[in-house]
Structure 1
Amino acid sequence: MISIFDRDSNLIAWLDNSARHLFDTDMNWLAYVSGRQLWSAQTGNWLGPLQGTTLLDQAGRPVGWHPGDGVGSSVRPARPTRAARMARPARPARPARPARPATPAGGWSSMTFPGWCGQ
């Protein structure tokens, strides 16, 4: 499992090693990845791109990151066509908390992680 942290280095989510499913800290399934895009497991709505292990919002700004991959942003991505829903995966285990990252070029997303997930 790949731990995902917010701008303050708080553990907010886990990405499975195959980078196909995103879980919250209670191991509830939040999102799935299709075509390097993240989709809400609850609504099927597009959340934003997955850049390496960085979760981006729809404006291309980071919402979550992993210390092994660093943190970055991108230009505003084009909205993809809706992805097919995935089956619910098994639940994972928990990692240690990393040091706080530097602010990425373009800044952090103004969205909170729960707000991003609830789109």
Structure 2
Amino acid sequence: MKTCLIVDDSRVIRKVSRHLLEGMGFAVEEAADGKIALEQCEQQMPDVVLLDWNMPVMNGMEFIETLRKLPGGDAPRVVFCTTENDIEHIRAAIDAGADEYVMKPFDRETLHIKLQLVGMA
């Protein structure tokens, strides 16, 4: 079973995302910020990370830059999930190591397509 770590400070987004991902057969873990997520990744690297951009403590860009430097941190597919939709944000996320980008709010079909694009669905 593939694993997904949802990193978002919104409990509602985590709950909705968990429901969608579990329906697609993923085992799901959650983190409310990038620092907690990194600690979880150090314990067990997920197959996929669904990553919010704007979070307290450690934002999505800080998280991905740190993740990619960890042993095995190049393995997870990272999909940024955010309201930031301008080309500069998208380019910065991809340059930092994101594999794909999805706009909030998203539905099951959109998320499934993004996961297919990164080889995880």
Instruction: Please say whether Structure 1 and Structure 2 have the same fold, judged by a TM-score greater than 0.5.
Output: no
> In proportion to residue count, which structure has more strand?
1
Q: TM-score, normalised by structure 1?
A: 0.33
Q: TM-score, normalised by structure 2?
A: 0.32
> In proportion to residue count, which structure has more helix?
2
Which of the pair has the greater relative contact order for Cα pairs under 8 Å at 6+ separation?
1
